[in-house]
Amino acid sequence: MNRIKFILLASLLLVVTFTVSCSDGGNSDNTSSSSLDSEISSSEAEASSSGTAELSSSSNAELSSGSIAVLSSSSIAEMSSDSSDSSSSGTAEPSSSSIAEMSSSSSHIVSCNNSVHNPGTHFCDTRDGKIYRWVEIGSQIWMAENLNYDVPNDATDMCYDNDPANCATYGRLYNRTTVMNGAIHSVANPSGIRGICPPNWHLPSDEEWNVLVKYVDPITWQQPAYTTAGTKLKSASGWLSGGNGTDVLGFSAKPGGYGDGSNFSNIGHGGYWWSATMSSRHYTSLRRTFYKQQDVDIYNSSSSMFSVRCVQNF
């Protein structure tokens, strides 16, 4: 571009010189004109051979005895703009909106032990990389699936009927010792007992279960004949004998049944979940619901194996 400007300016200078010579008169004009024509032709030939620009028709002004050829400012500005656009096109960068869009599309996906998930709806148990859905209900955030963590080198947790397919659907069954993981008892809200739960989650106390059920059915939650808390918390599929719930809050309670290590019962018909609260010296207070129940009642046990739902720490 600088080469072209130089040639054009040189041409203009020669034209001015020619015009001034004409105004002074004299027969020597013929010689000067001949010399000027030669120089202009040489300049035009050089510009043409470079192959880098064309002069517009407005720039190729005719030479006359009383005129001066001038390149308009709009022509120069246009060539300058074209040159600027051409030089920047090779190093163009994505616009801020494109960068924001790319950033937004990737910020909602995270990886945990090579398991990819959306933290807006799921979380990862860093112990084994399993992904679980979570749901916010009232002031609490609950796991929306039963825990399926296989305690290493431990036979106190197992799949219903020792079938891994049941673990994939209903989660694992755990005895009290494994569930509490050395803790004894809690009636607090929150319980403060992590137990078998993933990091940043804890085993709910009986009071935390009460908070959930009261939120679901605030008026009749303690009246089994009238409450519909069980129906609202049960999953919309998987329950036998017409026992499916409405799952209006996304809790998705499933009928994982229970076992004692060698015998198993009630899969498809009943769901049982541990709490961190002991109802007496030998029994723990659980929550359960059946295919034919609309409520969530309290069930006391000491030795069987049941499902686990955890609550997120505040």
What pLDDT is stored for residue 10 in this prediction? 52
Return the number of other C-beta atoms located less than 10 Å from residue 198's C-beta.
20
What pLDDT is stored for residue 114 in this prediction? 80
Lookup result for tokens 């069980």: 230
User: 159 and 16: one domain?
Assistant: no
Q: What is the pLDDT along the chain (314 residues), one digit of tens a residue?
A: 454 454 555 555 444 444 434 444 444 334 334 443 444 344 444 433 443 333 333 334 333 333 333 333 333 334 334 434 433 333 333 333 332 333 333 346 778 888 789 999 999 999 999 999 999 999 999 999 999 999 998 888 999 999 999 999 999 999 999 999 999 999 999 999 999 999 999 999 999 999 999 999 999 888 888 899 999 999 999 999 999 999 999 999 999 999 998 899 999 999 999 999 999 888 999 999 999 999 999 999 988 999 999 999 98
Torsion angle, alpha carbons of 178, 181, 186, 190, to 10: -100
Question: Could you tell me the CA-to-CA distances from 226 to 42, 214, 242, 295 in Å, in that order?
Answer: 105, 13, 19, 8
Domain closes at, from 33, 58, 89: 89
- 49 domain residue, yes or no: yes
Let me know the angle formed at the C-alpha of 251 by 248 and 252, rounded to the nearest 5 degrees: 90
> Do 309 and 146 form a contact (C-beta atoms < 8 A)?
yes
- 103 domain residue, yes or no: no
What pLDDT is stored for residue 312 in this prediction? 98
Please compute Rg for the chain using Cα positions: 42
d(CA 195, CA 274): 11
User: 85 and 118: one domain?
Assistant: no
User: 81 and 223: one domain?
Assistant: no
User: 287 and 167: one domain?
Assistant: yes
User: 25 and 133: one domain?
Assistant: no
Q: How many domains does the chain have?
A: 2
Counting every residue written for the chain, the total comes to 314
d(CA 311, CA 38): 93
User: 6 and 119: one domain?
Assistant: no
**Domain encompassing residue 51:** 2-89
Beta-bridge partners for 300: 285
- 101 domain residue, yes or no: no
User: 140 and 275: one domain?
Assistant: yes
User: 13 and 120: one domain?
Assistant: no
User: 122 and 17: one domain?
Assistant: no
- 95 domain residue, yes or no: no
Q: What is the DSSP letter of 276?
A: S
pTM, rounded to two decimals: 0.66
Question: Could you tell me the CA-to-CA distances from 97 to 91, 94, 104, 114, 280 in Å, in that order?
Answer: 18, 8, 10, 30, 62
- 96 domain residue, yes or no: no
What pLDDT is stored for residue 149 in this prediction? 98
User: 28 and 80: one domain?
Assistant: yes
